[in-house]
Chain A
Amino acid sequence: MIRRKKIYGIGLILSVMLLVLFSVKEVDTFKMPGTIMPGHEKLACKACHVKEKGSIRQQLQSNVMNWLDIKKMDDVTFMYKVPQNNDCLSCHRREDDNHPVYRFKEPKYKKVREKIHPENCVSCHNEHEGSRVTIAFDYCKNCHENLVLKKDPLKVSHKVLIEGKKWSTCLRCHDFHGNHDFKVPVEEKNMIDQSTLKHYLDNGKNPYGKILTKAKESRDEN
């Protein structure tokens, strides 16, 4: 019995050492649940994970009160806020975005919001999965399924591509956010190669050309 107590004592000491180790700042990157997105490697955790307001006690109290429906209190998370669009846009905001997130908040996109939530940056760019884009290729169909062009510049028309459900070809011609010095091709031979595109959307080299507006190095504190 005394021997078992000693063993449990050793186990306890090792456990405490482990807890102390995990509280050290230098191991913060070790706490990530997955690989960081390309381009974010040099960022500290606090660049996206902003501390929640209030003390831990207040945060716990608020959450418990709301969960038990005892008293309506501020909707706060525990310790750190869930990264929101503002956190992303603090570094990635651009004026001439082809698909800015606020666009998707328009009433006509209500059904699309219910389906794929394009109004949240993380719906397409979920962090800690090691990829730039984490949504499937065919998300364009959710808004552009009924696209009709008055004057189609393509030899193989958009109508044919849409009828054939060739949604994987969209990004081979179109730069989604428009942040690259990229001319939209009109011939198939000038399209970005499918595998190159897939590789880029994972974590590969950029096939769209020069970046027009680089992301900020640190959060916009304003």
Chain B
Amino acid sequence: MLKNSDYDSYDIICHCMQIKRCEVLGNKKQDTLKDIMCSTGAGTVCSLCRPLLSEVTGQNVWLDAKIIASTDVGKDISLFTLEIPRNMQVPYPGQHLVIQGYIDNRWETRRYTIVSYEDTIPSIKLMIKKEEKGLFSTWLHDENIVEKRIRVSQPVGKKKLNLADTKPLVCVAGGIGITPALSFIESLMKSEHARPIHLLHSISNDSQSIYTEKLDNYISKNPLFSMSIHDSSSKNRLTKNDMKALSNKYESCDFHICGSSTFINTIRKYLLSSGRKEDEIHSDSFALTGKDTHLFSLKYTYVGIVLFCIFLFQDIFNIKIEYLEILQNNETYKIYSGLFVLFFIVLQFIRPYNKASEKPHFITNTYKVHKFLGVLSPLIFYIHSTTFGVGYLLFLSVIYFSNFLIGIFNHERITNIQRRTTYYKIWLPTHIIFSMLSVTMIAIHIYIVGAY
């Protein structure tokens, strides 16, 4: 049962969209996860926060767990064994676990790859690196592990790779990104599958070379398993040629990449340029691969595009409503309709204001309103002016409508979570910058109109 005191209501629940917990709680529609995602936008980018959002709907998502062992496997890296309840689903290789630790009277949430699962005493193993300024990882690495209060979610993530397949699996791991590869290897060792695995572990220093004894042991026991280490401190980082050589060695195989987003994007690029196909390359970017929900209602996009096309058409072919043209020549009408457009712009800035402020404005359900008003931008512009104009007015119109188009072609329409996260990182700054430029051009317009 969720207690308000377990969380700070002004904490950010969705970091991608910068949505605070109180915004979700204040939202009228929170019956299901989809309701929350639709009306607030939370959970629509990397989906890490979806268990927390499900919790808000009243679902019991957490299972009590206990850390029963901790083994050092490298510098600042430990393998934690967690005893879990029997009602936990058996994880697929490569799945993740969302774990919460009760730190300073609050639940802190993180996600890690499940390295292995034991069903005799139901337990799972997580390999966690102690980050220098990490709150959670530091707390975990402290002594007194038995006293730590933790809880976990059911395993999350799609079943990406079939270990019963016979074509080789080549895992390219960067640093601590070795954990999914370890998960595959551990599963293979326990199963009767005969899928060859090659692990290429890229490390930036010797201390990242972990689990070596166990991996050596696996190599000696299973001829289908091989491994190589690339130490970028003594050589350069993995190059295009390195990946081409690897790709040529394994003619037909699946690749799995795990590490930082830069590492994943670089290796993916190298593999594609060496002739590998998209469906042969899988990756794990430490983002949950929960159930993809195609949220963004296409009706918003269609309405927006139709309104924009109508505006373009009437301006290009000079199809005007005479009464409106006369009205728009009236100075008083121009002033008041201009103020109306300005008011609309101000309303659109309530959403980013809420994101930035410590305590959100009383209007919490800003996401849907922001989208709805954004779609009406061409109509709002049309009320003030039926033409793009010339000179600086044309420039203002281009900025305004570009921002509108950026808004309707947002990340929500992308179903693949990896691509959606990447697109969002480009989309958001572009949208913010164009919004600010729109405001600046409107300010210039107001000055020119007032001065001349």
Contact = CB atoms under 8 A, between A and B. Distances in A.
B439 interface: yes
Interface in A47-61: 49
Contacts of B393: 33
Contacts of A31: 391-392, 448, 452
A137 interface: no
Given A34-B389, A80-B451, A15 B437 contact: yes
Interface in B412-452: 428-429, 432-433, 435-437, 439-441, 444, 448-452
Given A1-B18, A7-B428, A22 B437 contact: no
A22 B444 contact: yes
Interface in A13-27: 14-15, 18-19, 22
Contacts of B439: 15
Interface residues of A, number: 24
Nearest to A27: B392
Contact of B391 (A8, A33, A79, A80): A33
A49 B355 CA distance: 44
B356 interface: yes
B319 interface: no
B402 to A, nearest CB: 14
A2 to B, nearest CB: 11
Chain A interface SS verdict (over half): helix
A1 B357 CA distance: 11
Given A7-B429, A32-B391, A19 B436 contact: no
B390 interface: yes
B326 to A, nearest CB: 12
B450 A78 contact: yes
Contacts of B440: 15, 18-19
B391 A30 contact: yes
Interface string A44-77: 0100010000000000000000000000000000
Nearest to B441: A18
- Of A12, A18, A19, chain B has the most CB atoms within 10 Å of the CB of A18
Given A12-B436, A15-B436, A31-B392, A79 B450 contact: yes
B390 A34 contact: yes
A49 B451 CA distance: 9
Interface string A27-40: 00111111100000
A29 B432 contact: no
Contacts of A22: 392, 444
A8 B355 CA distance: 13
B444 A33 contact: no
A186 B122 CA distance: 111
A10 interface: yes
A49 B448 CA distance: 12
A151 B449 CA distance: 51
Contact of A11 (B18, B356, B437, B448): B437
Interface in A139-169: none
Given A22-B392, A31-B448, A33-B448, A7 B433 contact: yes
Given A30-B392, A33-B389, A34-B390, A7 B437 contact: no
Contacts of A8: 432, 436
27 contacts: A1-B12, A1-B356, A4-B18, A4-B432, A7-B429, A7-B432, A10-B429, A10-B433, A11-B435, A11-B437, A15-B437, A19-B440, A29-B391, A30-B395, A31-B391, A31-B448, A31-B452, A32-B391, A33-B391, A33-B393, A33-B449, A34-B390, A35-B390, A78-B451, A79-B450, A79-B451, A79-B452
Given A1-B356, A33-B389, A49-B452, 17 more contacts: A4-B355, A4-B432, A7-B428, A10-B429, A10-B433, A11-B435, A14-B433, A14-B437, A29-B391, A30-B392, A31-B391, A32-B390, A33-B390, A33-B393, A34-B389, A34-B390, A80-B451
